[in-house]
A = this chain, B = another copy of it.
């Protein structure tokens, strides 16, 4: 009996292309039978946001951050050549032509493959994000859980 290999990714970035890279690696590793965890922190939390507007109690500053940050991966911009959304639109058009899977579907695929999606509770507090605003069936944890998951890992990435 051999132990499963492990891949753990910290998704810090809120860029569409980086989230795509993270989820492609995660789905690939899961397909090769790795135990995979994506720990979402800071702007990476936005990949887990639900699309709809939700009524939750927030301070003024939390509301402001909430409005400025994208609701879900599909609303994120590119890390390069975004040009106020133009570059992003081009990439999305090309993706459609190549039948490439958009990031929100990569997230669903990851959940279907039992990739563990974790939201960092400390940065949720900082950015004023609440559990109701994030996808269902994810886990909530802090840095201790991340260390525990990744210290026996094979592939450890910060994206």
Contact = CB atoms under 8 A, between A and B. Distances in A.
A100 interface: yes
Interface in A3-41: 5, 7, 10, 12, 14, 17-18, 21, 24-25, 28-29, 31-32, 34, 41
Count identical subunits in the complex.
3
A80 B43 contact: yes
Contact of A42 (B17, B68, B94, B100): B17
Given A14-B80, A69-B81, A153-B155, 19 more contacts: A7-B147, A12-B17, A17-B43, A21-B41, A32-B147, A32-B151, A34-B147, A42-B80, A43-B79, A64-B90, A65-B81, A65-B90, A68-B81, A94-B126, A95-B126, A100-B125, A150-B154, A151-B154, A156-B156
Interface of A: 5, 7, 10, 12, 14, 17-18, 21, 24-25, 28-29, 31-32, 34, 41-43, 61, 64-65, 68-69, 79-81, 90-91, 93-95, 98, 100, 122, 125-126, 128, 143-144, 146-148, 150-159
